Structure 1
Amino acid sequence: MEIGIETARRIIAAAQETGVARGMKPLSVVVLDAGGHPIAFERADGASPGRFEIARGKAYGAVMLGMGGRAQAERAASGPAFMAAINGAFGGKVVPVPGGVLVRGAEGAVIGAVGVTGDTSDNDAEAALAGIAAVGLTGEA
């Protein structure tokens, strides 16, 4: 199973709707495939223009390391040298904070990741999880 463009668009719409409904700041949302390539991205009106790279970095770290942003943040706190080395290996593309969420298919395999940025990292993760759940997939923050 893989995430197609229509599913990616539905994830983004549900994440954005969650942000609006919960009074979050304007969000930017990206959906990556299992290889770390963008499928779809949306930046809400009022979101700063640099948000694509942050959202992608959150999702990229999740899919490349096989762990959500919360687990990455914990790993960075307990082993900063490891995360610095990982970020070096990936050319500085990893943003190890909540808001990068793995997407698992029906059999539990990683099929992609969602990155959300714009509010607090915890709220970003909440919006990503809501978007993933809206399409019947499992998110791992």
Structure 2
Amino acid sequence: MTALSLSEAQAIVTGALADARGRGAQPLAVIVLDAGGHPVAFAREDGATFFRLDIARAKATGALGMGADTRVLAQRAAGNAAFYQGVAVTVGGEIAFSPGGVLVRRDGTVIGAVGISGDTGDCDEDCARAGLRAAGLLAEEAA
């Protein structure tokens, strides 16, 4: 099976939110996109601010569109601000340069991305990786 299933996406969301509650994180929004950028599962916790789901989606979309986790994109953007500002304009702002957007891979192939927003970028990313572990989809590094 190469596609990201609904049950896997739901497990990612559930696992990420469980991890967030365990660490006392701020209320989060979580979205899981398939490889084509279509939403498969998402949730916004009570108390998560209005824009959090949009930011989470921008993180997941950015990871998919650029082929790298948003932590990597943020590091790249810091060293080449003009280019990445141009990317943001080109894609209508549908990209966020903050940790919390993580690619989902199976056997080295990107099958989707998870995006989380609500706490610090580091916490958002940790929760995303916890969601991947809960779904049995360990965060693989690019080959």
Q: TM-score, normalised by structure 1?
A: 0.95
* SS of aligned partner of 1:29: strand
1:88 aligns with 2:89: yes
Could you tell me whether the CA contact under 8 Å between 2:56 and 2:115 is conserved in 1?
A: yes
How far did residue 52 of structure 1 move?
1.1
1:129 aligns with 2:129: yes
CA distance in 1, matches of 2:140, 2:71: 9
Residue 16 of structure 2 corresponds to: 15
How far did residue 86 of structure 1 move?
1.3
Which one-letter code corresponds to 1:52 in the other structure?
Answer: L
1:113 aligns with 2:105: no
CA distance in 1, matches of 2:16, 2:132: 8
Identity %: 47
Post-superposition CA distance 1:71-128 (Å, at most 9, x none): 00001100011111211221110001100001111x2011100000111010000000
Could you tell me whether the CA contact under 8 Å between 1:98 and 1:124 is conserved in 2?
A: yes
Contiguous gaps of at least 5 residues in structure 1? none
* SS of aligned partner of 1:139: coil
Q: Which runs of 4+ in 1 moved over 4 A?
A: none
Q: TM-score, normalised by structure 2?
A: 0.94
CA distance in 2, matches of 1:97, 1:104: 20
Aligned alpha-carbon RMSD (Å): 1.2
Could you tell me whether the CA contact under 8 Å between 1:97 and 1:121 is conserved in 2?
A: yes
CA distance in 2, matches of 1:53, 1:140: 25
Contiguous gaps of at least 5 residues in structure 2? none
